[in-house]
Amino acid sequence: MNRRSNRRILYPRLESRRSGRLRVSEIHEIYWEESGNPNGIPVIAVHGGPGGGSSPEMRRFFDPGKYRIILFDQRGCGRSTPHSELRENTTWDLIDDMESIRDALGVDRWLVFGGSWGSTLSLAYGVTHPDRTLGLVLRGIFLVSKAEIQWFYQSGASRLFPDAYDRYIKPIPEDERDDLLMAFHKRLIGDDKQARIDAARAWSRWEGETLSIKGPTTTPARFNEDDFVDAFARIECHYFVNRGFFASDNWLLEEAKTKLKDVPGVIVHGRYDVVTPLSTAWALSKAWPKADIHIIPDAGHSSMEPGIVDKLIQATDDFAIQYADLIKA
């Protein structure tokens, strides 16, 4: 058992086995990669953001002897091109891209794994293609609702992280702070390059400083890299201004009630998640009876909190047992 101190830990680091690029529109080309067992259970790991890009650490949530691990960079970020592009970049484009990857790699059905925005896109994929979804393993549930965006990007989370919040709002004049989402959006899509990068740094670091229950001291290094923060902030803000391109705040919840009634799932959420509060995960668990919810008592939003790592790997290990017949000799 892959354990330390009674908690599962990440599987050892591994390199991608093969990778490629897929032209998905006249504008966009996306990066994909595979690692693990080429004859294993297919799983697609969906990164957060949107605009965050995949990371090698995502491979480590799966037993490499049992899983065929597929990662990709969503439109406009990571190794996909063009960088930071907002045109032809919607949730429905990304779902189509996942289907293009599935077709290109010859996958019939796969497990879908995602956290934060990755949980949003995974859910949207699952309700659109339940027949292609073996199951869903989700962390840090986010549905792009008005209430969630108001909580984190306007004022709610400031009560818990006032120091980080002051740094977040610094690029925005006081007379524009009554609608921070639109104030940031104006700068992130504007022609003033310095204003754009200042806004991108502030927007991205706000999330980076609040990811972990330990606070700003554990901000990941990439939240200080200009190329990363430009795509991350611009694409996130683009999606949030458009409310995820969903028909309503409750669209995913309503769809989950019917479309996921036969799809098994696991929800893992930190009780002290400030970025995506637990109430959203709880609402999803009530709408989706086939999902088991695990509330981690000593965790925030980060996928790297020890309790979250433990439950995510328990989930993928359990699915590996359930779908062992899909592992080819």
Active site residues: 116, 273, 301
Residue 51 has, within 13 A of its CA and on its CB side, a CA count of 27
Q: How far apart are CA 125 and CA 106, in angstroms?
A: 18
Q: How far apart are CA 116 and CA 236, in angstroms?
A: 12
Cis ω for the linkage preceding 64 (within 30 of 0):
no
Q: What is the per-residue DSSP string for 293-318?
A: EEEETT--S-TTSHHHHHHHHHHHHH
Which stretches within the chain are classed as H helix? 91-104, 117-128, 146-153, 162-169, 180-188, 193-210, 226-241, 251-259, 278-287, 306-322
Residue 70 has, within 13 A of its CA and on its CB side, a CA count of 27
Contact between 278 and 271 under an 8 Å Cβ cutoff? The reply is: yes
Nearest Cα residue to 122 out of 130, 109, 113: 113
Q: How far apart are CA 238 and CA 91, in angstroms?
A: 11
Nearest Cα residue to 47 out of 155, 151, 120, 153: 120
Q: Which residue matches tokens 């923060």?
A: 229
Indicate the SS3 state at residue 128.
Answer: helix
